[in-house]
Every structure is written in structure tokens, then in C-alpha cells.
Amino acid sequence: MRHLRRVMAAALLALPLALFASPPAQAADPTKLTSGFYVDPNSSPALWVATNPGDGRAPAIRDNIATKPMARWFGNWSGTIGTATGAYVGAADAADKLPVLVAYNIPNRDICGGHSGGGAGSAAAYNQWIAAFASGIAARPAVVILEPDALGDTSCMTAAQIAERNTLLNNAITQFNQKAPNTWVYLDAGNPGWRSATAMAASLNAAGLSRAHGFSLNVSNYYTTAQNITYANAVNAALGSTSGYTKPFVVDTSRNGNGSNGAWCNPAGRRIGAPPQVGGGAEMLLWIKTPGESDGNCGVGAGSVAGQFLPEVAYKMVYGY
């Protein structure tokens, strides 16, 4: 591994702190163990471009979407999960690049929205799955977005369901801390239009944010980066006043170039946003949702299923119409 010496040196430097810190300190900064973000050669837009070279839309989709670093989502479609995450992170590691992974398999996933329903069949199954997810990454550098929608999507849940979800998320963070020490885990915090900053801060804290690296915002949504930064600052203010800590955050900018029109499910007229980068007003701006992948059978994606790549939608997102 190209970064092995850097990992070992960072781990040795961090060792005295790790011995006494509670929770254990992260061994190293994964952005400094790599030389930029990983571009997935097997993303849905990249595969579409490769199989449709004569399509008039292909050049725009290739140059503006398919060649950009985007997250790879993992769920119950991913097969043996430790093998899947290990292969993906291994490919990124061989290129000395930083991969972004999304863990999306919480039981009763998207329980209130419904378009992306599913997830692990039980709490025990999820605990096994997330432990294997983390083990597949091991000591290689990575970024993980932990369970989009899990804390924003609680309006239809019972207190018992929320408590179980908090237990699962707490355990997930523990698994990454123990098994993937060079991974930054961002617990998903929804978006500025979903829940109040005070309510979200309380949910994040209950789900174990204090032991994660940070939180993620705007996954698969459209709010501007500025709106997300304002919301993140309010969440951190609430965390600081009620729980005594603040955390860094990342923003999904993949589809926020034109901002939100108030709809979340395949609204028309959206546009790709700022490219992935370290900084930009947050710790990182990332493309977590793949532009052109459907949110479900709705809006300009009518007739599609969640996650299906729609080249016409992708093409229009390049230009904002």
C-alpha cells in the first residue's frame, strides 16, 4: 500500500494519546494519507457512458459527472459486505486515493418516505453487517457516511423504534472506531428543511455523535451549501450548549447548484453543485448522491425506481433545466 508508511508513522505518533483517550483517538487524517478523492470507474454514469458512446448526451455526462469523485453506496444489494467494501477501498488504496462509502442498510430504512425502503431484516443482522463493513475497510483510509435519513426520518416511528435505531447507530460507530481506525465516520443529520437544529442535535447526540468524526448534511437533497453551513452552525451551537462538544461536517453538493424548490423526490430544474473538495465552508464538500440516479417513482423520475440511473435527468442536471 502506498500510504502504509504514512499510516504506520501516524499510528505511532497517535499511540500515547490513544492509550489514554476515551473514546480512542483516530489514528490519522485520511485526507492526508491519500492524494485526492477516488473516482469510481464503475459508477452508474461511468458505466452508462461506456456503453453509450454514440449518445449525444454522453460527452456532457462524461465530462461533468462520470469523471467526478462520488460516493459508492452499500446495502443489502452489495453481496458479502466485507468483501464488497474491501474490494472498493482496496482499489482506491492502490491508486492512493480516498474513497467515500455510504452505509445504507439500517432496519426499516426510509420507513416514513417509503421510496428507498428495506434494510437489514433485524437488529442482529444489521450489527453483523456493519461489523463486516468496517472490517472490510480495515486500516486503509476512507470516509463513511453513516445511514442517510436515519435520524431525519423519525416522524412516523415509535419511541421503541427510535431507541433501537440509536442503539444500532451507537454500535456502528463503535465498530468503525475499533476495526477501521483510519476512517472518518459522518453520522447523517438530514438537511436544513427537515428538523430543527435543536432537535437534530439531540438526536445526533443520542445516536453516538460524540464518538464519530462528524455529521453529514444534504445527502440526496438540494439545499445550497450556504444554507447547510448555517444549519450546521446551529446544530453545533445546540450541541455545544447541551452536550459540551461540536463536530465538523460535510455537505452533499452533488445536486444543489440551483438550490431547493421545496421538493425532494426528483424535482425538475436542479443542477450539479460544487465539485468534491476539502474545505469550501465545511470540512469537505462531497458528491454523496450520484447525479442522475433516481429518488424513486416520482417527479422527473416517474416510472423509475430509487437508485436507477436516468441519463436524461443527468444531462439536464449539467445545465440546470
Q: Whole-angstrom distance between the N-terminal and C-terminal Cα of the chain? A: 43
For residue 109, the SS3 value is strand
Beta strand spans in the chain (E): 72-74, 100-103, 142-146, 183-188, 214-217, 249-252, 277-278, 284-286
Annotated catalytic residue, options 93, 110, 149, 153: 149
| Residues paired with residue 144 on neighbouring β-strands, in sequence order | 101, 185
* DSSP H helical ranges for 95-186: 123-137, 159-179
For residue 160, the SS3 value is helix
Q: How many CB atoms lie within 10 A of CB 177?
A: 20
Q: Which residues lie below 8 Å from residue 285, measured CB to CB, with a gap of 6+?
A: 225, 250, 251, 253, 273, 274, 275, 276, 277, 279
Q: How many CB atoms lie within 10 A of CB 276?
A: 25
CB 212 within 8 A of CB 144: no
The amino acid occupying position 55 is D
Judge whether 40 counts as a catalytic residue. Answer: no
Looking only at the bridges linking them, the beta strands covering 72-74 and 214-217 are unpaired
| Active site residues per annotation | 149
